[in-house]
Amino acid sequence: MKKPLSPTPTVSFDVRDTMPRRTFLSRSAGLAGAALAGGALAPLAHAKPGDKTPASGPFVVKKAVVLGMLPGSMPLADRFKLCRDCGFDGVEASPEPDLKKAEQMRAWADQAGIEIHSIMFGGWHAPLSHPNPEVAQRGEDELKTCMRSAKAMGATSVLLVPAVVNADTRYVDAYTRSQRRIRNVIPVAAEVKVPILVEEVWNKFLLSPLEFAKYIDEFRSPWVQAYFDVGNVVDFAWPEDWILTLGKRIKRVHLKDFKRGPRQFVNLGEGDVDWPKVRQALRTVGYSGWYTAELSGGDEAYLKDVAARIDRLIKG
């Protein structure tokens, strides 16, 4: 998710429970859903650059775009068809709280031959870390709604910005508050069989891959995993390092590129991302699946070019 230089409109949405019941449900859900989400209940060993890919199957690249990259002037059904015609396999949509509308979106996607593979929930406007419990509760309730919306759309993940650190929210409070709220949502994620994927963004939170991995592992649930954005760490780190550290926790990947000098996002292949190293790191940890471009929008020629860039940079 891209918050940094051009704010992205987001919607937020979640559940509440008592600790004993919550702990029981989250652990039960974890055992029942491990095969679906692929998460481990114990911390994972970190991969090294020379390691061989642990995955036994082929390296699969499913290409997608965020819905906002498709021309907004077109009817949604036509946007989905354009997505397919430009060489993409799916889209990442925004939450649609009206479940009938969400089901209609899925029908249009099915007709076009693509998938709505993920919902970009966000978490900016009512952060789970907010010091005002009413605001945080609103974010929690909206996340719960989003989870059901995702199921109706046929999505298999929900992207979450877990917390925001600022002058009013200390880092330690953002950490504990957001984990408490997310734990309340795990039973819903298990119910609808849609994992919550935490993403690293420019929110002054989860500033190292070690902390990101620890944050995920502490849930001890396959229903809370990682959504890794390649471009979001370039300003202060190296994406390939984060990938090797996060390893199997990564369930979705956002594709962006970034130039350190002017500190700006650019088209894929035009920034400072070392794509061969990123590609190798992804193979080393055995990641296979959805790669979603999160770039500026454009016409058919532009979108086809983005699809070709993903083929070149990720497939190699």
pTM of the model: 0.84
Tokens of 33: 């859903």
Cβ-based neighbours of 187, under 8 Å, separated by 6 or more: 15, 17, 22, 25, 26, 29
Give the mean pLDDT of 46-69: 74
Tokens of 177: 């508050």
* pLDDT for 59: 85
The per-residue pLDDT for range 141-192, each reduced to its tens digit, is: 999 999 999 999 999 999 999 999 999 999 999 999 999 999 999 999 999 9
In the chain, where the domains are located: 19-40+59-315
Minimum mean pLDDT range among 51-60, 260-269, 287-296: 51-60
For the segment(s) 19-40+59-315, the CATH number from 2.40.50.140, 3.40.50.720, 1.10.10.10, 3.20.20.150 is 3.20.20.150
123 versus 250: the higher-pLDDT residue is 250
* DSSP H helix total and E strand total for the chain: 9, 10
